Structure 1
């Protein structure tokens, strides 16, 4: 294990259906092995601690639904704008704090719907040469399939297809993994990760781990 030179803050809570403690726990040893000193918070009030955030290199959030106060939202956004990285997956970042437009601009996407239950779909990689997807190939998953509103300014690294159905007259190519910047900070988002065994898929695990490192200051 390398010497801890960076600091990661894991913020977890909200709806328990996304197993915030269990799934963030999958990545704590990885972060520590990569040299991060890790702090865990089960309160969004941590986003109002300017000094703590200024000394944090990476925020990993897994907080589904819930409400964020204007002060908490401004604190998080300001920290990322100043250079703190922000990363997360699935509803822990994409179905958080519905209606907070500043937060949605930070993440670059917001959950709208998913087909009932778990479905099989293929994730197609589009980020040729990007460190997060380098050496990986398209892969299949069996999990929730997120349909989202997304910011076209993000760099999309992976997509999936929603086939035409019902009120949708044609196939839709939907971003599933992307990166973006927010001021001086880097942001990594993956739509995959409803359940712990989603990360048993080697490509899902690799993309998530690489995404955390990429986002860090």
Structure 2
């Protein structure tokens, strides 16, 4: 048992910030999944963990659900350095792309930043990118619908977009716009997975949302 346990990967769940995204409840949806896949789970409800280089170096996957809030330069640099060294980073919705708005380095790490969403929940379609259909995060998934917030994003051109959603023309938009909804990126030796879907826990009741999120966590891990 000792040797088996020591071979397990380690996941660090970092959660907090704005309570509207229910960081505890949503991360608890995925902790059993990660345990079943052989991860030892550690949980931090403070960003100060990002300054612990030794702890992060021993972590294979950081799952972050921390909406808004502020991150110090030392914390941000510590997280980026860990990912550059091979620690994976993954998250969904505001917990990863509506975080730490004042930190440009963090935005470069995640590859995107939330700008706005239409009022309330929007019934809309998520479209896996056909040219990326062989990617393990979306392999075998077709178009599917969700009824939740639809994020308008500013994204880095270096991200690997795996799924999109369409904002129709109307109001200030003179044409329809295809927006990245799910992507991955490499950061040094590390991997980053982002899904913009997941405002509320029942968003993950949609089988495709649950599947791509679980796959994204595994893909990002060292």
Task: Pick the TM interval, shorter chain.
Answer: over 0.9
Deviation at 1:4, TM superposition (A): 5.8
Superposition map of 1:113-132 within 5 A: 113-126=116-129, 127-132=132-137
Tell whether 2:65 aligns with 1:91: no
C-alpha displacement of 1:167: 1.4
The correspondence for 1:40, drawn from 43, 53, 59, is 43
Distance in 1 between residues matched to 2:133 and 2:160, nearest whole Å: 11
Q: 2: CA distance between counterparts of 1:124 and 1:39?
A: 34
Aligned to 1:204: 209
Measured in 1, the distance between the counterparts of 2:142 and 2:178 equals 18
**Structure-2 residue corresponding to 1:71:** 74
Query: Is 1:55 matched with 2:58?
Result: yes
How far apart, CA to CA, are the structure 2 residues paired with 1:41 and 1:62?
11
- What pairs up with 1:166-185 in 2 under 5 angstroms? 166-185=171-190
- Other-structure match for 1:18: 21
Report deviation, 1:165.
1.5
Q: Over residues 174-202 of structure 1, what are the superposed CA-to-partner deviations in whole Å (9 max), with x where a residue is unaligned? A: 00000001111000000000000000000
Number of residue pairs the alignment of both structures matches:
217
Instruction: Calculate the aligned-residue CA RMSD, in Å.
Output: 1.2
Task: Find the aligned partners of 2:24 and 2:136 in 1 and give their Cα distance.
Answer: 28
The answer on whether the counterparts of 1:83 and 1:186 sit within 8 Å (CA) in structure 2 is yes
Question: 1:3, CA displacement in angstroms?
Answer: 8.1
Pair 1:151-2:152 in alignment = no
C-alpha contact (below 8 Å) 1:4/1:36 kept by paired residues = no
Q: What secondary structure does 1:24 align onto?
A: helix
Runs (5+) with no aligned partner, structure 1:
none
Structure 2 unmatched runs, 5+: none
Q: Could you state the TM-score of these two structures normalised by the residue count of structure 1?
A: 0.98
Q: Of 13, 23, 27, which aligns to 2:30?
A: 27
User: Which residue does 2:139 correspond to in 1?
Assistant: 134
State the 1:5 CA deviation.
1.0
Aligned counterparts of 2:73 and 2:102: Cα–Cα separation in 1 = 11
Partner of 2:194: 189
Aligned equivalent of 1:163? 168
Distance 1:3 1:191 in 2: 34
